[in-house]
Amino acid sequence: MHPVRFELTAADGAARTGVAHTARGSYQTPCFMPVGTRGAIKYLSADDYERLGAEIVLGNTYHLMLRPGAETVAHFGGVGNFAAWGGLTLTDSGGFQVFSLEPKVDDDGVTFKSTYDGSSHRFTPEIAVHTQQLLGADIQMVLDVCAPLPSSDDVIRQALQRTSAWAVRSKTAHQRPDQALFGIVQGGVSETMRAESAQRTVDVGFDGYGIGGLSVGETRQEMLPALAAALAHLPADRPRYLMGVGDPASLVEAVGLGVDQFDCVMQTRIGRHGTAMTSEGKLHVKNAKFALSDEPLDATCTCDVCTRHSRGYIRHLFQVGEPTASRLLSLHNIAWTLQLMASMRTAIAAGTFDSLRSRVVAVWG
């Protein structure tokens, strides 16, 4: 039996709601997974995740294997126990961080230098699986090759072929029956190569499927056809995960194509720098015009920040360099995104998803 069983609960066109059942618990889809890079979402704790209503949080394999080390995390019973987080966790393969460092890549794996101390490390599909088994997340991702965009067809083809070969090796290396393993589809913005990569990944057979290598510089108009080409070949009874995508317009467009789960650092990154996500678009709370504003960040948002604090107060915190400002906006942006995902689930069940999609794209597109 697969560690992840996907139960469809409603559909509106290609958009769908469901429940993904893992060995240790379930999560509703479509869902957004906040990113806890080093074992914590920046400025937040496990208590915050619970209050926000997050069901699954992403951890970063690259950072955790370098500090404090996968063996240390395993000593504490896995990344969830280490962080005292009772919900579910997913670990990325570390591939995106490795490739952003422009390492030496060969058919067997990659060699890269640590951003912490410059030490050299070797990473292969087997090492990525073993490391994530020590980290103990409920879902782990295979090591893939993420080609930068734009890239030549030859570069994208080589990345696709290595990703496919590494998928086979990852599945062979995977030994934990209580931990799901997701494959990853590559192929740049080529619909042909996306379809091929999806078919080859499905042929290996995984518990769920990630679509990687998108939202790396291409336009949304380039991304969506490539995404649709991949989704057409992914099985309906497995979760579909669009990796690294979190802007609201892309979220609703991707859900409309049949994507189930997402992750992104955008929510906390822009929050730390003074930008709030709202139903009217981005709000730059540092702006002087908000100095005397007693309005919440978003009158339609039900998060603790919006029900308690004014724009004027939060602007003041940024003006004086108070770290609480970044914390409050990070809390709000994650809560706002989780509320957006909940509204999508409601709209799909009601058969009104296209109306919601149009409204969000009108503001955020």
Domain assignments of the chain as residue spans, ordered by start: 5-263, 265-365
Is a pLDDT exceeding 80 seen at residue 2? no
CATH 3.20.20.105 at 5-263, yes or no: yes
DSSP 222: H
- Set 12, 48, 92, 247: catalytic member: 92
Mean pLDDT of 178-188: 97
Do 237 and 6 touch, CB atoms closer than 8 A?
Answer: yes
pLDDT of residue 1: 55
Is 154 annotated in the active site? no
Do 242 and 257 touch, CB atoms closer than 8 A?
Answer: no
Is 263 annotated in the active site? yes
Distance CA 181, CA 166 (A): 13
Portion of the chain with pLDDT greater than 90, in percent: 94
Listed range (98-102, 185-189, 252-256, 282-286) with the worst mean pLDDT:
98-102
- Set 12, 48, 207, 263: catalytic member: 263
Q: What is the CA radius of gyration of the chain?
A: 20
pLDDT in tens, 88-143: 999 999 888 877 888 899 999 999 989 999 999 999 999 999 999 999 999 999 99
pLDDT of residue 152: 95
The H or E element spanning position 239 is: none
